[in-house]
Every structure is written in C-alpha cells, then in structure tokens.
Chain A
Amino acid sequence: MNIINFTPISAFVGGSLIGFAAFLFFAFNGRMAGISSIASGSIVNNENRFDNILFLFGLIIGPIIYSFSGNEIVSILTNSIPLLIIGGLLVGVGTKIGSGCTSGHGVCGISRFSLRSIIATITFIITGVITVLIFGI
C-alpha cells in the first residue's frame, strides 16, 4: 500500500463545511442532510418536496459559486459510460433500500451514534473496496 494524492487539509476544511451545512439543515428544517433521501424525496409529492428540490439546486450551484474564487475544480471521471450507468442504478436502488448514503449514514448517522448507520457505513465501504479491487480505477 502506498499513499498518494493525500490532501488532508482541504479534505478536513471541506468536510467541516459539510458538517456545518448539515447542522443548518437540522437547526432550521429539523431534518438530517442525507442526500439520497433528499434526492429521492424530490420526486415524490410530499410536503417537503420543494425544500428538497431547493437543497439539490443549492448543491448544483455550490461548485459554480466556489469557482468564482478563481480556484480550479478538478473532476476526473475515469470509468466508461456503461459502468457509470450500472453504478448509478446500483447507487439509487441501494440507497433507497438501505435508507441512506455517505451523508445520511456516514456523516449524520455516525454523528448521532446510530448503530444502523455505523454498520451501513462499514458495509458500503467494504463492498466499495472490493468493487475497486475487481474493476480497478
């Protein structure tokens, strides 16, 4: 094992902002900032639908606002279109059935010491590691 491309400071600063955004959503809206739940909640007709859509809209314009700072945003998509399609489908089905993703279980759930979320997070990291081991990056 070699360690490469490690950026602990920007990771920690960005992570802190994510935690702060999750706190704002909890303090003002009373909800957990689990993005898979917010995204799947934006396509069903419930009372929070427009809150969900506006949160997603904020997620999209966040990088655009950040780009005004003059810093370059790096996004390198390495995998082929078929893998992205299958990946998208598995992420959608899996987060719906497993009730959460990296933000809902990994950040919010672990923060409130939920055993379900701790187990879910360990599970998706393990299958993620195995998948990368098989398919490479």
Chain B
Amino acid sequence: MTKLSSLIAGIIFGIGLTISGMVNPQKVLGFLNIFDAWDPSLMFVMIGAILIFSPLHFIFKRKSRPIFAENFIVSTKKNIDKNLIIGAATFGAGWGLAGLCPGPAISSLSFLNTGIYLFVLFMFLGFYLGNFILNRK
C-alpha cells in the first residue's frame, strides 16, 4: 500500500510543481536574479507549501505510526557540519547554472527535452559521486 500512496503523492507533487511554474527554469532563474529583474514567485511557492505542510505534519506527528508504513522516518541530525554547508553551497551553484533542482528536473522529463535528460543523467552520476565522497571520509 505504501507504493500506491507514493505514486499519488508524486502525482500531486508533480501537478503542484507544474501549476506553480517551477518546472520552468526561466522562472527559477528569475527568482535567483535578485539584483536585476526579480521574479519572487518561488518564495510564494515555498510559503504555500510550508503553510500547508507544517501545521498538518505537527498535528499528525502525534499519532503512534503512519497510516501504511510501520514507523515515521525523520532525520534526527542536529549539528551544522561542513558537509551540510559545502553540500548546500554546491547544490546552489548547480541550481543557479541550470535553473533546475531535483523535483522540477524529474517532472520535466515529461517534456522530452535533451537538455533535461542530460541534466538528470548527470544529477544521478552526482549522487554516486557524492556517495563516494561521503564514504571516503
């Protein structure tokens, strides 16, 4: 049953990304272009998502377990370490180069565009490389 809820959550997430305009790299780059011609839309996407998710998640968290899965799986990491900062900084640079982050990139596979395919292919290679770097330390 967790497979069904994964699929449905993915579809709704994908529709949300589409309606919000975040599948359009030009709009994402417009948000990052603060000092020139700024498009603040992405901020409203985050605010909308947080206003819905945050209270619902705090209410639901009091239950003993999720509806289909056995347990809640939430990161318990608290420390601000080098990996967090270097990783986030690296991600931001890639985000600014392409105007794509993981969610919109994967949703955009449906647009059958070679540039998107290459981005996603190299993103997955990046996951392997990141794993390699983490395991080496």
By size class, the interface of chain B is 35 or more
Closest Cβ neighbor of A73 among chain B residues: B18
- Residue pairs across A and B with Cβ atoms less than 8 A apart, 27 shown, are A3-B38, A5-B39, A15-B46, A18-B17, A19-B53, A24-B9, A27-B56, A29-B69, A36-B102, A40-B127, A54-B6, A55-B9, A62-B15, A62-B18, A62-B107, A76-B25, A78-B99, A84-B97, A88-B123, A91-B91, A91-B126, A92-B94, A98-B91, A100-B88, A119-B80, A131-B32, A137-B30
C-beta contact mask, B1-40 vs A, less than 8 Å → 1, else 0?
1110111111111111111111111110110111111111
A60 touches B24 (CB 8 A): no
Known: A28-B66, A123-B92. A90 touches B126 (CB 8 A): yes
B90 touches A62 (CB 8 A): no
A14 touches B22 (CB 8 A): yes
Known: A94-B91, A124-B89. A15 touches B44 (CB 8 A): yes
Measured between beta carbons, the chain A residues less than 8 angstroms from B37 are 2-5
Known: A15-B20, A63-B23. A101 touches B102 (CB 8 A): yes
B92 touches A19 (CB 8 A): no
Measured between beta carbons, the chain B residues less than 8 angstroms from A36 are 101-102, 127
The binding surface of chain B is classed by DSSP as helix
- Please count the residue pairs between chain A and chain B whose beta carbons lie under 8 angstroms apart in the complex: 510
A26 touches B66 (CB 8 A): yes
C-beta contact mask, A70-106 vs B, less than 8 Å → 1, else 0?
0001111111010111111111111111111111011
Other A-B pairs beyond A17-B12, A94-B94, 14, CB < 8 Å:
A15-B46, A20-B52, A60-B109, A61-B14, A63-B23, A78-B25, A78-B26, A79-B99, A96-B87, A96-B130, A102-B102, A112-B57, A127-B89, A131-B32
How far does the alpha carbon of A7 sit from the alpha carbon of B26 in the complex, in Å?
A: 13
Q: Which of A15, A16, A127 interacts with B96 by CB under 8 Å?
A: A127
- How close is B74's CB to chain A, nearest CB, in angstroms? 6
